[in-house]
Amino acid sequence: MSDDAAPPPPNPFDDFVYPGYAYWFTHPDHLGLLAWLHYLEPAPASACRVLELGCGDGGNLLSLAQALPESRFVGVDLAGEPIYRGLALAGDLGLDNVDLRQADVRDLLAWPDDDLGSFDFIVAHGLFSWVPDDVREAVLAVIRRALAPNGVAVVSFNAYPGMHDYEALRHFMRFHSLTYAPEERVKGARDGGLWYAAQIATMAPEIKGALMQRLYTSLERSSDALIRHDYLAENEQSFWFTDFMERAQRHGLAFLTNAKPTVLRLAHFSPEHAELLRGVTDPIRQQQYMDFLANTRFRVVALCRAEARLERSADLGRFAGLALEDRAHTDVWAEELRDDEKVTLETPHGLVELSGRPLRIALSVLHAAAPRALTLEELLARTIPELARFGADDGLAANEDGRAQLGAWLTRELVAVWFQGLVHLWHEPPDLAAAVPERPQTGPLQRERARERATVPSLAHREEPLDALERAVLALCDGARTGVEIARELGERDVGEVLARLHRLAFFAPG
């Protein structure tokens, strides 16, 4: 560096810990499945290469690296401290398929091809909206350069129009926090933001009451790290979807789909809105109209190379080889519910009503197998006799044609509930215990996280909030102790229920 070169600006991620988490929608099995449904054939999750830009402390990559030992994971982050923490943990866990490097995304473009490499999946989560514009350009350029021909990249960003709702509050918090000493700024921003939201809700209840109440609750629940790195971020910028896609297209990238199946599909709109949206044939304009109607404020977009040959119409035949995992977490055909016309489920994506008996029976069969996934064929083979048993098959289960008809009908229904988050689809589901093993065993990463954090990534790469007892139990699930021994060690009478819940949440490997 020459004497007069300006020192790099301090990176807030070096001195204010932002813990990294497992993000299920970045799992290569899920991204690969989204691509495969559009007739792309990326590498299988069990033998792929993944790059994460702005990987922080590797919270996402370490969980994937443990789950997929034959795949390789490279993470890059500008901040040295989180990289150092991530490398230390990877070393302790003996993970030799993950490489975390301190580097600026902008500098990756100068790396020779052999150093950068080619990746089947590239993740840039929580980065694009929070960096200067030249870093955004570099993110897209790196993706274009390093993405394998059938690869998938996932990029998230704050979006308009929903982010407009937040802007006054965020500006207030930033403005007000500057009256505090640096070490008090996060607290000052939170207290100030809560005060401001409450004032506006009271002073303008008819115009902004409900909105400010919602922002108040969301702010109350935000961690200090989120307040520092999101509300007080120096470079925060939201985007209209069309503007984001224009940039991505300039870099030779195309819209594949939304990474989360539970948002922004025609299935999520009222029949009248879906009809109007169906009339917009350009997928990008259609998505933008969806954002207007849904007031989207955060997007997780899956991209592919512009020259990839995509097929947008969904062929139900494609689903035949997939496995389904229960995410309803309720037996919707439990004996006490059977006389009810319909079951209403409260899900993280809103209320879902289930009325058809065949679908409820299929979901109940899936629930009985949870947390293990069943292939669609297995599920249908187990469900169809149950339909006949309950007289819910319209007499179709008796012959082959009828069974095929039932199978096709159920497949359509099961895909529809995938969009509602009631099932998760896998190409290669994780290998999980069928029941609580005599000596329960979770992964070394899970035991480590359980000792230090309120949320722990499951073996299915989902960050699960656990209470203190669940975490204490999980930390001891090393395959050497029985449930009774774990209870004794913790001074508890019985931990059977805790083990059952941890089992349901996909924390145990087969015994």
Ligand X SMILES: C[S@@+](CC[C@H](N)C(=O)[O-])C[C@H]1O[C@@H](n2cnc3c(N)ncnc32)[C@H](O)[C@@H]1O
Residue number, 115 or 336, with CB nearest to ligand X: 115
Residue number, 21 or 73, with CB nearest to ligand X: 21
Burial of 431 (0-12, 13-18, 19+ CB in 10 A): exposed
Tell me if 231 contacts ligand X by CB under 6 A. no
Residue number, 77 or 464, with CB nearest to ligand X: 77
Nearest partner of 381 among 403, 413, 359, judged by Cα:
403
Q: State the minimum distance, in angstroms, from the CB of residue 83 to ligand X.
A: 9
| C-alpha to C-alpha distance for 123 and 53, rounded to whole angstroms | 6
- Per CB under 6 A, the segment of 124-132, 216-224, 251-259, 386-394 that binds ligand X is 124-132
Tell me if 229 contacts ligand X by CB under 6 A. yes
Residue number, 20 or 421, with CB nearest to ligand X: 20
Q: State the minimum distance, in angstroms, from the CB of residue 131 to ligand X.
A: 5
- Per CB under 6 A, the segment of 12-20, 277-285, 404-412, 494-502 that binds ligand X is 12-20
Residue number, 25 or 418, with CB nearest to ligand X: 25
> Residues near 26 by Cβ (< 8 Å), separated by ≥ 6?
52, 60, 64, 121, 123, 125, 154, 259
Q: State the minimum distance, in angstroms, from the CB of residue 101 to ligand X.
A: 10
Whether the link from the prior residue into 371 is cis, omega within 30° of 0, is yes
Helices (H), 147-282: 164-177, 185-203, 205-221, 224-226, 241-250, 271-278
| C-alpha to C-alpha distance for 441 and 474, rounded to whole angstroms | 9
Whether the link from the prior residue into 28 is cis, omega within 30° of 0, is no
Size of the site for ligand X (CB under 6 A): 24
Per-residue binder mask for ligand X (CB under 6 A), 490-509, x = binder: --------------------
| C-alpha to C-alpha distance for 392 and 493, rounded to whole angstroms | 44
For the chain, report the end-to-end CA distance as a whole number of angstroms: 56
Q: State the minimum distance, in angstroms, from the CB of residue 315 to ligand X.
A: 33
- Per CB under 6 A, the segment of 11-19, 93-101, 343-351, 354-362 that binds ligand X is 11-19
Alpha carbons within 13 A on the beta-carbon side of 93: 27
Tell me if 193 contacts ligand X by CB under 6 A. no
Per-residue binder mask for ligand X (CB under 6 A), 66-85, x = binder: ----------xxxx--x---
| Residue from 104, 378, 448, 478 in contact with ligand X (CB under 6 A) | 104
| Residue from 28, 56, 261, 483 in contact with ligand X (CB under 6 A) | 56
Residue number, 126 or 429, with CB nearest to ligand X: 126
Tell me if 54 contacts ligand X by CB under 6 A. yes
| Residue from 48, 87, 89, 131 in contact with ligand X (CB under 6 A) | 131
CA distances from 396 to 355, 381, 409 (A): 20, 14, 12
Nearest 10 degrees: Cα torsion 123, 126, 129, 132: -80
Nearest 10 degrees: Cα torsion 130, 221, 446, 29: -50
Nearest 10 degrees: Cα torsion 221, 14, 126, 209: 30
Tell me if 18 contacts ligand X by CB under 6 A. yes
Nearest partner of 319 among 198, 411, 225, judged by Cα:
411
Ranges within 395-424 binding ligand X (CB under 6 A): none
Residue number, 229 or 265, with CB nearest to ligand X: 229
Residue ranges in contact with ligand X by CB under 6 A: 11, 13, 18, 20-21, 54-56, 59, 76-79, 82, 104-106, 125-127, 130-131, 135, 229
